[in-house]
Amino acid sequence: MPSSTQHPAPAPRDISGADAEDLALYREKFRGRLPESLDELHGPIHGVVDLPLHMAWSGMTSYDLGKPRQRMGLYRTVLHEGLHEDLPRYLNQDLLLQLWPVLRTLVGRTVRAVWEDAFPQLASRTRAAA
């Protein structure tokens, strides 16, 4: 199986001023949603989770945590679309740590960078899994 090379997000100096500003605003959007600590994440680990419309606006609304693909889809959706108050309700710290080595490849670069910058234990899980 060929290995995939990960390309870092362009540094602000590599893009125009307007694009750099847009990227900074986009990163700040996700930073503002983060919990203070992963300890705040007490979401479910079993059962079916129904997401509200503001998160599940363009696809599945119900996810069975017993099904690995649906569990990964739920976490991807919540990381991208969830608001600050949604994260503790729908994400579980232990499950996030378990899923992160694969989940980080399914989320956008900005989401991945913001979460790994804020929570070094996520990045260390990735290195340990490699």
Tokens of 46: 């079993």
Q: Report the chain's mean pLDDT, rounded to a whole number.
A: 85
The pTM of the full predicted model, rounded to 2 decimals, is 0.79
Q: What's the Cα-to-Cα distance from 103 to each of 68, 71, 115, rounded to whole Å? A: 11, 10, 12
Percent of all residues in the chain with a pLDDT value above 90, rounded to a whole number: 65
9, pLDDT greater than 60: no
Distance CA 20, CA 9 (A): 11
Q: What's the Cα-to-Cα distance from 128 to each of 37, 97, 101, 108, rounded to whole Å? A: 21, 12, 9, 21
pLDDT tens figures, 42-94: 999 999 999 999 998 777 899 999 999 999 999 999 999 999 999 999 999 99
Distance CA 90, CA 50 (A): 9
